[in-house]
Structure 1
């Protein structure tokens, strides 16, 4: 992942944490990492549920649901899940590196 992509993800996490905790950007309060992570996981879950619902609506033949929109939303869901997995892997690797440090 490119540096710009990582910075974008960090900014989205920070924005999500601010929204979850009700802190504005000008508030100057420190962000809670757990709140940011919970918010990001909630966003991933929301994207997946939305994509599943849209796919179900398409399969039931509801009007106004196009196949290309369903496919795009399913791909967005897949990409967001893959990003979540990669963030988890990086967190686990960082934790392992810290635990293996010699004092």
Structure 2
């Protein structure tokens, strides 16, 4: 399950490299829903860690990290977290619906 939104244009030159580096690495034994969910959660966690690291570097006035790239990373992490939250809410609702079914 990939929560990233595909883009037909490349707004930043380094965005493709960052996207490939943050992509989840799946084991061949973790195929299926649980493996996809685990990979998506790891991807969201990596995006959040990257954004917080970049934010820390901007606050320490590191000239190698730009404010624009940091803001984009923060927004990507926020969108990923929101998508994960929606998936979790849908899964809980589906579980509740199944448990309330009469057999």
Normalising to structure 2: TM-score of the pair?
0.72
Tell me the equivalent position of 1:71.
71
Consecutive aligned runs of 4 or more in structure 1 exceeding 6 Å deviation: none
**Deviation sequence 1:33-62 (CA, Å, 0-9, x none):** 211111111000000000000011111111
Tell me the equivalent position of 1:6.
none
- Separation in structure 2 between the aligned mates of residue 31 and residue 70 of structure 1, nearest angstrom: 33
- Separation in structure 1 between the aligned mates of residue 35 and residue 89 of structure 2, nearest angstrom: 19
Normalising to structure 1: TM-score of the pair?
0.72
Question: Which runs of no fewer than 5 residues in structure 1 stay unpaired?
Answer: 1-9, 24-29
Aligned residue-pair number: 84
* Structure 1 residue 87 corresponds to structure 2 residue 84: no
